[in-house]
Structure 1
């Protein structure tokens, strides 16, 4: 199959997913993944469709394949780290989720979505203090709420030391 044909079939499968035809998209993507096992974009889209169908365990190897080798464009790499981390968390692999999301944040520092899902995974691993710190910093820096912004400096201060009551 030529690269052009593969790209057309991938675009068609993505269009099916976006149109709500999830089972048809999955079938097309599984065929593409079998024919192009090393293609990061195909693997990413195949992982995504499995997540969309609630087939998280089946999504994991495709997410891992999509991140191997660094061929996935940055925007999709960010999505793959988020998808893999979130999926691992849902599956109860909390430590792996933390590791995956931290790796994603190393590559994409300050990404609010990765930080949010990392906070959830940290909570699941019993790292409640770090999870709340992360969420408070994120809230202070991203919230448009006037009340949060009025107390932003205090929130940022307490995010550094939650036990400080002075």
Structure 2
């Protein structure tokens, strides 16, 4: 009898825990309502310099590797890959259109103002969610749990929106 009680208690706990988790639909609703706000937030001043650009990186981010057109970052054991094309205009929607045509995403939303075109993409890849944020010729990607997607999107938009290309590097 005691064994049955323990098994029942564990099963009930699992049901309650899974019910408390966030769903893809809830994440999509939040992103749908907050994406514009995230892109319109005040961007921080760059605090790191590289060969072709300056960028703001939060204190908990470390540069793992810098290569031509790529920057590999890490924060709390999570990897981020930033790709940049200095020749691509801030209004470029190339990456967005490629994603849209592939039709391999859970969530995709674009943002545009007078100076830039941006997007947010979320896709289930195996057991994690691939989060990709782009502005013009810059895109940043990471993999995360569903309940961290909103936080990652906001953080990644802040980072790539701060990129300021150095003029000599783009000529």
Q: Do Structure 1 and Structure 2 share a fold, with TM-score over 0.5?
A: no
TM-score category of the 2 structures, normalised to the smaller one: under 0.3
* Structure ranking higher in strand proportion: 2
Normalization by structure 2: what TM-score? 0.22
